[in-house]
Amino acid sequence: MSATDVLQDQLRFLRGLLARPKGVGALAPSSSALAQAIAQQVDPKSDAPVLELGPGTGIVTGALIARGIAAERIVAIEYDRDFAALVAARFPRVRVIAGDAFDLDRTLGARFVQPFAGIVSGLPLLNFPVARRQALLDRIFARLAPGAAFVQFSYGTQAPVAPPPGTSVHRAAVIWLNLPPARVWVYRRT
């Protein structure tokens, strides 16, 4: 990514933050260090699709592809239509859906029945009520392949959602080279 692209992304991000602060939830786009730490949690050897919730400017999308996950395997759900168009333009082989990640059944419909090899999220979960976060986690685990991870980053010191019964969560990384510093949380069925 060129310096011009980075600056343009920061401006797009700031516009999104000002227009929809609850839906953006950060002062700056995620850093490449954070994106790499998230992508590192997804197994690139599987042939199953990978779901990305809230790709924003596509920094994690790019990190997933760099990790060896074929772009055709990535399904990205972005609520903001401008960010969805940006990710679709940057990664034309990624299936980008402009929709609501909190309503996975409606947004994905019957198109994606195969379980996902991993689900990564840039959603600002701490901006939403606990009940809504827990409901999302239930829907996510219903769509994950056995052993697959749900990866969420957060600026909080605790996991953004308590793991439901039969699952666990652990902090996989703390990324100091991010504004603000972020933590990568990995949820799995136990």
pLDDT value of position 14: 55
User: Using one digit for the tens of pLDDT, what is the confidence trace for 52-100?
Assistant: 999 999 999 999 999 999 999 999 999 999 999 999 999 999 999 999 9
Strand order across the 182-189 sheet? 95-98, 74-78, 50-53, 116-121, 144-154, 182-189, 167-175
Give the pairing of strands 116-121 and 95-98: unpaired
User: Using one digit for the tens of pLDDT, what is the confidence trace for 100-129?
Assistant: 999 999 999 888 889 999 999 999 999 999
**Measured between alpha carbons, how far is 144 from 116 in angstroms, rounded to an integer?**
5
Mean pLDDT over each residue of the chain, to the nearest integer: 89
Q: Is the pLDDT of residue 16 over 80?
A: no
List all residues 6 or more positions away from 103 whose beta carbon is below 8 Å from its beta carbon. Answer: none
pLDDT value of position 25: 52
Q: Sorting pLDDT into bands at 50, 70 and 90, what band is 3?
A: low
pLDDT value of position 36: 98
pLDDT value of position 139: 95
pLDDT value of position 73: 97
Instruction: Look at residues 10, 33, 85, 22 and name the one whose alpha carbon lies nearest to residue 55.
Output: 85
User: Using one digit for the tens of pLDDT, what is the confidence trace for 127-179?
Assistant: 999 999 999 999 999 999 999 999 999 999 999 999 999 999 999 999 999 98
95 by DSSP, 3-state: which? strand
Residue ranges per domain, the chain?
30-189
The CATH homologous superfamily for domain 30-189 is Vaccinia Virus protein VP39 (3.40.50.150)
Transcribe 147-189 into DSSP letters. EEEEEEEESSSS-SSPPPTTEEEEEEEEESSSSS-EEEEEEEE
User: Using one digit for the tens of pLDDT, what is the confidence trace for 25-61?
Assistant: 555 678 999 999 999 999 999 999 999 999 999 999 9
Instruction: Look at residues 148, 151, 149, 125 and name the one whose alpha carbon lies nearest to residue 136.
Output: 125
pLDDT value of position 66: 98
CA angle 54–169–166, rounded 5-degree value: 110
For a pLDDT cut of 70, what percent of the chain falls above it? 85
pLDDT value of position 110: 85
List all residues 6 or more positions away from 15 whose beta carbon is below 8 Å from its beta carbon. Answer: none
Calculate the CA 12 to chain-centre distance.
18
